[in-house]
Amino acid sequence: MNRIFVDADGCPVVKIAVNLAKEFQVPITLVKNHAHVLQDEYAEVVTVDTTIDSADFYIVNHLSKGDIVITQDQGLAAMCLGRGAVPINQNGLVMDDSNIDGMLSSRHINRKLRSKGIYASKAKKRDQSKDKDFESALRRLLKEE
């Protein structure tokens, strides 16, 4: 593993990711758009424009095989898998060839339902157990290298 990239717009685990990157002495790049303010002394912070998928395309165009990408976006995760990177979401789910197709299918179905005014579920408030799950999963990935 060379580096960690974070799709940082609205990502609830940026601080955890940066702390683990420091602990394991791994470079980390936080990619955000102009609408978000984010600073860190350890992390490289890259600001992209606010057009749709700008952060996603920056990440895909700059990652290397074996990099870790933290994202909530399954579309970005699929592109990262195609480049040999390891995507993980904010809840600690490592996305891979065994689960990405199902996730993309669910995403497509939910998008179609939303376009018809039907909402499959409401997002629940994030609890600390999700942060702990994420931290454990990212720690495992960092130890594997």
Q: What is the pTM of this model?
A: 0.84
pLDDT tens, residue by residue, 26-85: 999 999 987 777 889 999 999 999 888 899 999 999 999 999 999 988 889 999 999 999
Residue 104: the pLDDT is 55
pLDDT tens, residue by residue, 86-140: 999 999 999 988 767 666 566 555 667 667 777 666 667 888 999 999 999 999 9
Of the CATH numbers 3.30.420, 3.40.50, 2.60.200, 3.30.40, which one belongs to the domain with range 4-95+126-144?
3.40.50
Residue 4: the pLDDT is 98
Residue ranges per domain, the chain? 4-95+126-144
Question: String of b and e for 45-57 (b: at least 16 CB within 10 Å)?
Answer: bbbbeeeeebbbe
Residue 127: the pLDDT is 87
Residue 12: the pLDDT is 94
Q: How confident is the model at residue 15 (pLDDT cuts 50, 70, 90)?
A: very high
Could you give the 3-state DSSP secondary structure of residue 88?
strand
- 72: DSSP letter: S
